[in-house]
């Protein structure tokens, strides 16, 4: 495995993962898939890391999807293996116990757009261009796109974008709710880090439970969802952090949360 396909740095509770194949628009091959999978599993249990930011190397691309040069060499069984692996990986990102922010610094097409959809929050630079373009290759989004896009932006708009394979620019992505916000490319990482830093001020167990309640609650009816919310709340009640939050409020100081 080539370790350089994924760069990882950590600072102040934030892990930044950079897809690092800029010569081919950070397209995902098996090597990058395996590197990302290993890193995500590692970050799941890593103490002290509260938020993960995923971005792409260079100024052109977040990720242009599956590596079509590698794809041309795969037989049918290997294509299936790739699809299962990428779908499971993106689901593990969506269900990760920590928030994940996509810093979309350029084109996000096919699997690249699906990677951003698996993240909790998407912030895009003005030069970003996004699309689920798979139908133009006579295939369909296979890493969660047919499911996550309509859940995020609604069925009609998702069908339009998937059926046409149309690419949209940052402004339209913002307008239809595909991204949370847009900013200049120079500011992108700082904007993501600012949001991550705010999340780092909150209680770790609270964030894990909030993400859990939103993710699982959304997939069910409201009464079941509310029961999931209650149970997630109950997890926070016996924590040291909850008492620390109340004490800090009383003492007019910033709370220091320990994830306990």
Query: Distance between CA atoms of 134 and 142, rounded to whole angstroms?
Result: 9
Show the tokens assigned to 30: 């098996």
Q: Using the rule CB under 6 A, is 15 a contact of ligand COA?
A: no
Q: What is the DSSP letter of 66?
A: B
CA 101 vs CA 60, 73, 110, 259: distances in Å: 19, 32, 18, 20
Q: Least distance (Å) from ligand COA to the CB of residue 106?
A: 9
Q: Residue 134 interacts with ligand COA (CB under 6 A)? A: yes
66 near ligand COA, judged by CB under 6 A = yes
The three-class DSSP label of residue 238 is coil
Which residue in the shown chain puts its C-beta closest to ligand COA? 110
Catalytic residue among 56, 65, 111, 145: 111
Number of residues that bind ligand COA (CB under 6 A): 16
- What is the distance between the alpha carbons of residues 165 and 138, in angstroms, rounded to a whole number? 10
Question: Shortest gap between Cβ of 7 and ligand COA (angstroms)?
Answer: 18
| Residue 155 Cα to chain centre, angstroms | 21
66 noted as active-site residue: yes
Report in angstroms how near the CB of residue 87 gets to ligand COA at its nearest. 13
Helix 222-236 to helix 204-217 angle, to the nearest 10 degrees? 170
Instruction: Write out the binding residues for ligand COA, residues 86-125 only, by CB under 6 A.
Output: 107, 109-111
- Sheet of 6-11, strand order: 6-11, 14-19, 51-56, 100-104, 121-125, 181-183
Supply the minimum distance, in Å, between the C-beta of residue 131 and ligand COA. 8
Whether 64 and 112 have beta carbons less than 8 Å apart is answered as yes
Residue 17-56 contact track with ligand COA, rule CB under 6 A, x = bound: -------xx-x-----------------------------
DSSP state of 178: S
Which of 57, 64, 66, 173 is an active site residue? 66
Asked whether position 258 contacts ligand COA by CB under 6 A, the answer is no
**Active site positions, annotated:** 66, 111, 114, 134
Summarize as ranges the residues that interact with ligand COA (CB under 6 A): 24-25, 27, 64-69, 107, 109-111, 133-134, 137
């Amino acid at each position: 495995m080539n370790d350089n396909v994924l760069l990882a740095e950590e600072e102040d509770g934030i892990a930044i993962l950079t897809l690092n194949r800029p010569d081919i628009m950070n397209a995902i091959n098996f090597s990058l898939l395996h590197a990302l999978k290993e890193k995500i599993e590692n970050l799941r249990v890593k103490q002290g890391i509260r938020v993960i930011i995923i971005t792409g190397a260079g100024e052109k691309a977040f990720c242009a999807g599956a590596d079509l040069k590698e794809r041309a060499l795969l037989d049918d069984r290997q294509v299936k293996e790739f699809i299962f692996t990428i779908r499971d990986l993106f689901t593990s990102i969506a269900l990760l116990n920590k928030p994940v922010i996509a810093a979309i610094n350029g084109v996000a097409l096919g699997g690249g757009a699906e990677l951003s959809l698996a993240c909790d929050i998407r912030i895009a630079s003005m030069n970003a261009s996004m699309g689920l373009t798979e139908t133009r290759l006579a295939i369909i989004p296979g890493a969660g796109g047919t499911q996550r896009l309509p859940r995020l932006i609604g069925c009609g708009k998702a069908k339009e974008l998937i059926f046409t394979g149309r690419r949209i620019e940052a402004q339209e992505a913002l307008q239809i709710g595909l991204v949370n916000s847009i900013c200049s490319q120079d500011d992108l990482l700082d904007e993501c880090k600012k949001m991550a830093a705010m999340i780092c001020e909150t209680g770790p167990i609270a964030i894990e439970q909030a993400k859990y309640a939103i993710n699982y609650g959304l997939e069910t009816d409201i009464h079941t969802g509310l029961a999931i919310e209650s149970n997630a709340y109950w997890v926070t009640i016996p924590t040291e952090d909850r008492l620390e939050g109340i004490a800090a409020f009383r003492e007019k100081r910033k709370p220091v949360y320990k994830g306990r």
